[in-house]
Every structure is written in C-alpha cells, then in structure tokens.
Amino acid sequence: MKKQELRAIYKQKRKDLSVSQIEEFQDNIYQQIYNLDYSGVKVAHLFLSLTKFKEIDTQPIINFLRKRNIKIVVSKSNLKNNTLSHYYLEEKTVLELNKFGVPEPVNAVKVDEQKLDLIFVPMLISDELNYRVGYGKGFYDRFLLKCKEDAKFIGLNFFKPIYQIEDSNDFDVPLHQVIYPK
Ligand SMILES: Nc1nc2c(c(=O)[nH]1)N(C=O)[C@@H](CNc1ccc(C(=O)N[C@@H](CCC(=O)O)C(=O)O)cc1)CN2
Ligand SMILES: Nc1ncnc2c1ncn2[C@@H]1O[C@H](COP(=O)(O)OP(=O)(O)OP(=O)(O)O)[C@@H](O)[C@H]1O
C-alpha cells in the first residue's frame, strides 16, 4: 500500500482505539523503553503528544529519562517551511499549543540537532525496513537528516509494522528501531 492510503487507515485505526486499549499498549511500550540501553545517551529528543490524534503519552518517558539525568529536547514547528527547531525542556519551561495542537516550548534554550543522541519519532505506521509514514509534511525527514551519524532513531507506535510501504522515496529516513506493543 501507498503512504496516502496508509495514512487514512492508521489515523482511523488510532481513533478506534478505546481508552483501556491505549492504556494497555502504552504500558507495554513504556516497559520496552525502560529496558533500552542508555549508555552514552546524554540528550534525548521527544515529541509532545498530539492528544487529538491519540498519540502515545510521552510524559512518563520524559519523567523516566529525567530521573536518569538525560536532558530532554522538544521541537517547535515552522509551518511556513515544514521544518523543526529544537529546545531543552526543563521543569520550568512554559508550553503553548501550536496551530496543529502540538505543545511547544515558549521561552527555552535552543539546541543544535548534532547534540541529540537519541530521538523518539512519532508515526502512523512503519514497515519491515523501518521506513515510516507520518502526517505527510516531511517534518521528521528534514529533521533526521541533520542529526549526527551515530544518533539513534526509535519510532513509537501502537501498531505492528506492515510488510512494505510501496512509495518510500529518497527523502525518507529509515529508523533504527520501532517499538510497538508485543
Ligand atoms: N506530537 C507530534 N509532534 C509533531 C509531529 C507529530 O507527528 N507528532 N510532527 C511530525 O511530523 C510534526 C507536526 N506535524 C503535523 C502535521 C500535520 C498535522 C495536522 O493536524 N494535519 C491535519 C491537516 C492540517 C493541514 O493540512 O493543514 C490532519 O492531518 O488532519 C499535525 C502535525 C512536528 N511535531
Ligand atoms: N529532506 C527533504 N527535503 C525536501 N523535501 C522533503 C524532504 N523530506 C521530505 N520532503 C517532502 O515532504 C513531503 C512529505 O513527505 P512524506 O510524505 O515522507 O511525509 P511524512 O514522513 O509522512 O511526514 P512527517 O515527517 O511530517 O511526519 C513530500 O513531498 C517529500 O518529498
């Protein structure tokens, strides 16, 4: 199947999840994240959840990483050119919802992509080669390109990867790992 069709299907599949299914899936994903190897990870990038699309709640992950003294970085979207800029998320950082409904930092210290050791990536679905489909604006493809060579990209999803996204292209950056409920 192609990206456009997959986007519609997996958006709907997420909408159809019940609160208790989401809780069960999230707990399973959190356990897998708590068991990852964090040696060498000083700075981790996370997305702040878009609740209208029932994305995984990343707050427990943020709390876990903070306890391990890993710095947290989150992004602001530039809606004119579909790019992201990145900022440290501290306890005191004020957040504001952007036009999409994504929480963004208001007054925070900017961080260069090259500082990021680990990046958790949102998605609608991925395939067995770890290519992903997002909301279709290319924000993450543009972002991941700028990260250092040994940075690790980990996708988070409620759904098991499909066999193949037919129309993956040269802009698509494959992930190193995808975590889904197992
Ligand atoms: N939590 C989170 N933050 C993120 C992303 C994400 O997937 N999740 N993004 C990942 O790249 C970027 C934001 N991308 C987005 C792209 C489209 C829509 C959205 O609401 N689209 C509408 C159509 C709106 C329009 O076309 O103007 C829709 O799909 O109904 C939201 C976020 C950056 N931040
Ligand atoms: N590095 C890039 N430079 C220029 N255009 C790009 C780049 N990466 C992606 N694009 C373009 O952005 C558009 C959206 O890409 P794609 O369909 O892969 O989005 P997506 O990965 O589903 O979305 P997102 O990353 O926002 O979650 C496509 O037209 C693609 O060609």
For 95-134, what is each residue's pLDDT tens digit? 999 999 999 999 899 999 999 999 999 999 999 999 999 9
Distance 142 CA to ligand 2 centre (A): 7
The CA distance from 115 to 117, in Å, is: 7
Query: For every residue of 123-181, which 3-state class applies, written as one string?
Result: CCEEECCCCEECCCCCHHHHHHCCCCCCCEEEEECCCCCECCCCCCCCCCCCCCEEECC
What is the count of structural domains for the chain? Answer: 1
Q: What ipTM does this complex have?
A: 0.92
Phi-psi region of 163 (alpha: psi -120 to 50; beta: other; left: phi over 0): alpha
Buried/exposed code over 22-34 (b: 16+ C-beta within 10 A; e: otherwise): beebbeebbeebe
Residue ranges making up the domain that contains 65? 3-179
- Look-up of token digits 């994903």: 29
Q: What is the CATH number of the domain that holds 106?
A: 3.40.50.10420
Q: How confident is the model at residue 18 (pLDDT cuts 50, 70, 90)?
A: very high
| Cα(135) to centroid(ligand 1), Å | 5
The pLDDT score that the predictor gives to residue 158 is 98
Q: Estimate to the nearest angstrom the gap between the alpha carbon of 50 and the chain centroid.
A: 11
Q: Could you tell me which residues are beta bridge partners of residue 95?
A: 105
User: For residue 140, which ligand has an atom nearest its CA?
Assistant: 2
CB atoms within 10 A of CB 60: 15
Instruction: State whether the beta carbon of 173 lies less than 6 angstroms from ligand 1.
Output: no
Is any ligand 1 atom within 6 A of the Cβ of residue 155? no
Dump pLDDT digits (tens) for 35-82.
999 999 999 999 999 999 999 999 999 999 999 999 999 999 999 999
pLDDT digit string (tens) for 148-177? Answer: 999 999 999 999 999 999 999 999 999 999
Q: Give the ligand whose atoms come closest to the C-alpha of residue 167.
A: 2
DSSP 32: H
Q: How many residues does the chain have?
A: 182
| Residue 107 or residue 23, greater confidence | 23
Specify the pLDDT at position 39: 96
Task: Please give the model's pTM, rounded to 2 decimal places.
Answer: 0.96
Strands 83-88 and 71-78: antiparallel
Amino acid occupying residue 85: S
- The mean pLDDT value of the chain amounts to 97
